[in-house]
Amino acid sequence: MAETIRVTVWNEGRHEKTHEAVKKVYPDGMHTVIAKHLAAQEGLKVRTATLDEPEHGLTEKVLAETEVLTWWGHMAHHDVQDEIVSRVQARVLAGMGLIVLHSAHFSKIFQRLMGTTCNLWWREANEKTRLWVVAPNHPIASGLGPYFELPQEEMYGEFFDIPAPDELVLVSWFKGGEVFRSGCCFNRGHGRIFYFQPGHETHPTYYDANVLKVITNAVRWAAAARCPVAREFGNRAEALEALP
């Protein structure tokens, strides 16, 4: 219960180097903003990792010491090596939590874990969005109001090509006319996955108190299986009951 949760905040980190508009909002990368907030929460121990580090910063050792991984990517999904994707997938199935942020809907790791394209409709129009709680007793909604607003975000609209979530926590309204399943829980293997829609790189979304609350809650939710049933499979040649 009171055990420390070790979180690795992963970021592609390219926009922040190449786009002035992004650099202005996240001068040290959006991972540092997310990591700083999480590190201030009780019981969380946080590190960061980025695409351009060796092995993308996701060595076997780092993953073995990570209970929950958060993932933001956009312009360089294809630069993520397949071998690292397989490594992360195996670690999720073995019990690591994964928080998939915004444009990471199109990351290799999310597509791999979902089995679908994870495609959707989008629009960059700096429009208002309002995220509604549809599962008010879910730990990820803890401390929220019935909804919260972001004055400017990228629109993501349905149909969102994902499997039906195991639990649907948030549904978004967009000023331009769309809706979106914006807070989605999945169980895969022994791991837990949360997809969370907000986070366009030119908006200060990861400074928003409600967004940070959701991410923090999601980290705790994804780390909840602290003493899971062992992950074993294979030939049980000897029956548990006498066979004729």
SS3 130: strand
Q: Please state the closest distance from residue 110 (CB atom) to a copy of itself, in A.
A: 9
Total number of residues binding a copy of itself (CB under 8 A)?
83
CB 51 within 8 A of CB 18: no
132 vs 207, beta carbon nearer a copy of itself: 132
d(CA 73, CA 56): 12
Q: Does residue 60 interact with a copy of itself by CB under 8 A?
A: no
Q: Does residue 228 interact with a copy of itself by CB under 8 A?
A: yes
Among 18, 54, 61, 240, indicate the residue that binds a copy of itself (CB under 8 A). Answer: 240
Q: Does residue 210 interact with a copy of itself by CB under 8 A?
A: no
Q: Does residue 21 interact with a copy of itself by CB under 8 A?
A: no
Nearest to 70, CA basis, from 117, 123, 33: 33
Q: Does residue 159 interact with a copy of itself by CB under 8 A?
A: yes
66 vs 89, beta carbon nearer a copy of itself: 89
**Restricting to residues 65-104, which ones interact with a copy of itself according to CB under 8 A?**
89, 93, 95
Q: Which structure tokens are listed for 19?
A: 């786009």
Q: Does residue 130 interact with a copy of itself by CB under 8 A?
A: yes
Among 144, 215, 218, 219, indicate the residue that binds a copy of itself (CB under 8 A). Answer: 144
- Piece of 49-57, 78-86, 166-174, 198-206 that binds a copy of itself (CB under 8 A): 166-174
Q: Does residue 2 interact with a copy of itself by CB under 8 A?
A: yes
How many residues does the structure list for the chain? 244
Q: Does residue 32 interact with a copy of itself by CB under 8 A?
A: no
Q: Does residue 132 interact with a copy of itself by CB under 8 A?
A: yes
Buried b (16+ CB within 10 A) or exposed e, 45-63: ebbbbbbeeeebbbeeebb
Q: Which structure tokens are listed for 30?
A: 């959006």
Q: With the C-alpha atoms ordered 188, 191, 196, 200, is the resulting torsion angle positive or negative?
A: negative
Asked, as a colleague might, if the bond just before 186 is cis with ω within 30 of 0, I would say no
CB 69 within 8 A of CB 38: no
**Restricting to residues 40-59, which ones interact with a copy of itself according to CB under 8 A?**
42-43
CB 11 within 8 A of CB 72: yes
CB 107 within 8 A of CB 92: no
Nearest to 211, CA basis, from 199, 225, 224: 199
Instruction: Write the binding mask 179 to 208 for a copy of itself: x where contact by CB under 8 A, - elsewhere.
Output: x-x----xxxxxxx----------------
Q: Which structure tokens are listed for 91?
A: 């670690």
Q: Does residue 39 interact with a copy of itself by CB under 8 A?
A: no
Q: Please state the closest distance from residue 89 (CB atom) to a copy of itself, in A.
A: 8
